[in-house]
Amino acid sequence: MKQPVFLTLILLAIVAFAMDMATGSVAVPLRDVVRILMGQPPMRATWATIVLTIRLPKALTAALAGAALATSGLQMQTLFRNPLAGPFVLGISAGASLGVALVVVGASALTSIAVLGNASAALAATLGALSVMLLVLTVAHSVASRSALLIVGLMVGYTAGALVSILLYFARAEDIQAYVIWTFGSFGGVTWPQLRVMTLAVGFGLLLAVAGIKPLDALLLGETYASSMGVNVRRARVLIIVSTALLAGAVTAFCGPIAFLGVAVPHLARGLMRTSSHRTLVPSVMLTGALAALLADILASLPGQAAVLPLNAVTSLMGAPVVIWIILRRQHTLSAEAL
């Protein structure tokens, strides 16, 4: 039963990928998109420039970012056993944003996030994400309540946001404008050289996630059970932390802090696959995340219009109903158990 779902997700992701390259302020017919990708000349020469220079890296970035954020959300939901855990909710994205802000504002000669270079932004965001993740994980050992842990994550995020505000207060107007635009989120500002760096970081993070599938399954029932099954809990925890920091940090560095994908997509994948096995969930979450990000990018580009919506606004409109549904379903389950 799961194989048809996988095939459907792959097909939908391919269609969304093609649609993302075909839609925008200038419509390019799908058949011409295929011709361009196969190295054949389209009906109009300008279409090849639009597709290969702008839309192909944008679509690849969206697919990578969606898979990365969804996978990082799945790992954290399992590690903390909290259905609302995610890189945005637990402050990981805020930590990555702080890392980038330190680089942007600290190097006062910059006027654009793209000028940072290919590796410095990714490194700063990854270190920021890793620092917040380690802090939240340390607090997790002292907090028994999952709700309290969620509040701690939110407070860490607010603290990181406050530090960013202080940095921006002393920054130049150009730096503030560049940072604010970056926080809107966008898959379209990533160049081919930057995409190569992002692919390396995300690829390594996804490989670590795949390597941690067995520990993730054991952690579903708690760290005590995982230890009894022979899992090195400390090593598994470090593996998950590094993977999540790489995935969230790299995406945040190049695309901005993208909201809700990390929280909502894992639940959509669980509903589609009807399993808690990470051997099935990890690849399905990657596919579902890529599909969701591509759909969000299509909606944000406003096909046929010159304007482009902030990506975070679109992902929030897509993800917030899912989070509300999660809360209502859990409340219904608790009420049923009480009866």
Residue among 334, 60, 2, 56 nearest 198 (CA): 60
Through-space distance between the first and last CA atoms of the chain, rounded to whole angstroms:
33
How many helices and strands in the chain, by DSSP H and E? 15, 0
CA 265 – CA 256 distance, rounded (Å): 18
Which are the contacts of 13, defined by CB distance < 8 A and separation ≥ 6? 63, 287, 290, 291, 294
Q: What is the DSSP letter of 107?
A: S
Neighbours of 107 (CB within 10 A): 13
What does 259-298 look like in DSSP terms, one character per residue? Answer: -SHHHHHHHHHHHHH----HHHHHHHHHHHHHHHHHHHHH
Q: Among the residues of the chain, which ranges form H helices? A: 2-22, 30-37, 45-49, 56-80, 92-106, 120-140, 146-169, 173-183, 192-211, 213-219, 223-228, 233-255, 261-273, 278-300, 311-338
List the domains of the chain with CATH numbers: 2-338 (1.10.3470.10)
Query: Global pTM?
Result: 0.87
Q: What is the DSSP letter of 84?
A: T
Block residue for tokens 């209502």: 328
339 residues of the chain, pLDDT tens digit each: 478 899 999 999 999 999 999 998 888 999 999 999 998 988 888 999 999 999 999 999 999 999 999 999 999 899 888 888 888 777 888 888 888 788 776 654 444 444 444 456 667 777 888 888 788 777 766 766 656 767 777 788 889 889 988 888 887 787 777 778 878 889 988 889 889 989 998 999 999 999 999 999 998 888 788 888 888 888 888 888 889 888 988 898 889 889 889 999 999 999 889 888 999 999 999 999 999 999 999 999 887 677 788 999 999 998 888 878 877 876 666 555 555
Contact, 153 vs 135, CB < 8 A?
no
